[in-house]
Amino acid sequence: MATRDSVDNLMQQCEDAIRFANDQLQEGRTQEHYNDAGYTDALYSLESAYNDLAKIALSANAQQREQLHRMRLQLQQLQNRMIVNPH
């Protein structure tokens, strides 16, 4: 079973990845193709957070799985937005 601390730490990691990706998405809109490295790093951090969510969900209880699922949806939406609307 996943501990509360491990889920909380993972949620914080996901929120950090989302914040970084949103910053890079906004910066990419203003700088266009001059920010490729940061944009790619943001996509990588979202994917890494998504994979970590999938791993910890295997040992989570029902309430934690619901929380992780909502975060996974947020990560996917942001990933899709970054891919569909490239800088």
Model pLDDT for residues 21-78, shown as the tens digit of each residue: 999 988 877 776 676 788 889 999 999 999 999 999 999 999 999 999 999 999 999 9
Rounded distance between C-alpha atoms, residue 14 and residue 50, angstroms? 8
Q: Residue 87's pLDDT is what?
A: 59
Domain ranges of the chain: 4-84
pLDDT digits (tens, 9 = 90+) for 3-12: 899 999 999 9
Predicted confidence at residue 86, as pLDDT, reads 64
| Cα→Cα distances 37→1, 3, 12, 54, Å | 37, 35, 23, 26
Residue 1 pLDDT level (bands cut at 50, 70, 90): low
Predicted confidence (pLDDT) per residue in 66-83, tens digit:
999 999 999 999 999 998
Alpha carbon distance 18, 48 (integer Å): 11
How much is the pTM? 0.87
What's phi and psi for 58, nearest 5 deg? -65, -30
